[in-house]
């Protein structure tokens, strides 16, 4: 199996191409701002790979899903997401998709709902959906047991940046529960939405740090430490100051 990660442009989340022996999938799409450029970037990487067969979205937010319709139309493939997000994407919802925060319109996007535990055999390995709400109710991580690699989206946006739970449909208690859920999977590679990929012995340290943060946040009744600056309105994560 092969994994190719395309770093996001500007506010875009990163996009991952996952290729097995028989088929390939995309994980996330970024915004609609750079979608033409993104199509060309993807085409340059998949020439020798099995055909793309689906776009898997970790969640409905515009920075993650805004470009999905254009990519799906360009490659002739379906978009898969947790069922709690399907109506928001189909109805051009500007609030729970957070498109309004980006001064953008969320395209009307048809999707196929996938429940927790859904699997696709890529050939040489299976990719599996793990429902991980907290950043949003629909948030899903994707796990490949054969590689012990977890694509965690904005559940862990970056090793040193804990995810936001104060956006539409976010929930602190669910975020902690989801982090503890993926700790039990014992991944050996962690692919966040934006930050660097984490490998080997560092993975559990990162997960435990995020677990500890949300435990403290719950104890503090949702309030950030006084030492932290107010996060920028467009951010999908909190920035610790001083840094972890």
Question: How far, in Å, CA of 155 to CA of 174, rounded?
Answer: 10
- Looking at 3.40.50.1820, 3.40.50.150, 3.60.15.10, 3.40.50.300, the CATH number of the domain 2-219 comes to 3.60.15.10
For the chain, domain boundaries: 2-219
Give the containing element (helix H, strand E) for 65: helix 62-65
pLDDT at residue number 235: 77
The stretches in the chain having pLDDT less than 50 are none
- Dump pLDDT digits (tens) for 203-235: 999 999 999 999 999 999 999 988 888 877 667
| CB distance 190 to 157 below 8 Å | no
Question: How far, in Å, CA of 36 to CA of 134, rounded?
Answer: 31
| CB distance 82 to 113 below 8 Å | yes
Dihedral over Cα of 68, 71, 74, 77: its sign? negative
Q: What is the pTM of this model?
A: 0.95
Maximum Cα interatomic distance, the chain, rounded to a whole number of Å: 52
Of the candidates 18, 233, 207, which has an alpha carbon nearest to the alpha carbon of residue 120? 18
- Dump pLDDT digits (tens) for 142-154: 999 999 999 999 9
- Dump pLDDT digits (tens) for 169-181: 999 999 999 999 9
């Amino acid at each position: 199996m092969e994994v190719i990660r395309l770093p996001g442009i500007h506010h875009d989340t990163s996009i991952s191409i996952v290729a097995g022996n028989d088929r390939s999938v995309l994980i996330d799409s970024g915004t609609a701002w750079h979608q033409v450029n993104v199509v060309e970037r993807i085409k340059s990487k998949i020439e020798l790979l099995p055909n793309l067969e689906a776009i898997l979205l970790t969640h409905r937010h515009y920075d993650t899903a805004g470009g999905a319709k254009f990519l799906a139309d360009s490659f002739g493939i379906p978009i898969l997401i947790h069922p709690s997000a399907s109506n928001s994407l189909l109805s051009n919802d500007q609030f729970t998709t957070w498109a309004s925060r980006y001064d953008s319109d969320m395209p009307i996007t048809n999707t196929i709902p996938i429940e927790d535990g859904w699997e696709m055999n890529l050939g040489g390995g299976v990719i599996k959906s793990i429902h991980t709400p907290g950043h949003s109710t629909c948030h899903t991580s994707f796990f490949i047991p054969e590689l012990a690699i977890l694509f965690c989206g904005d559940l862990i946006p970056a090793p040193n940046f804990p995810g936001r739970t104060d956006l539409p449909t976010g929930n602190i208690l669910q975020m902690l529960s989801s982090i503890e859920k993926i700790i039990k999977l014992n991944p050996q590679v962690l692919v966040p939405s934006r930050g660097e990929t984490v490998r080997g012995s560092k993975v559990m340290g990162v997960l435990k740090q995020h677990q500890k943060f949300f435990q403290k946040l719950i104890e503090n009744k949702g309030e950030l430490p006084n030492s932290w600056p107010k996060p920028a309105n467009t951010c999908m994560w909190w920035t610790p100051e001083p840094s972890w």
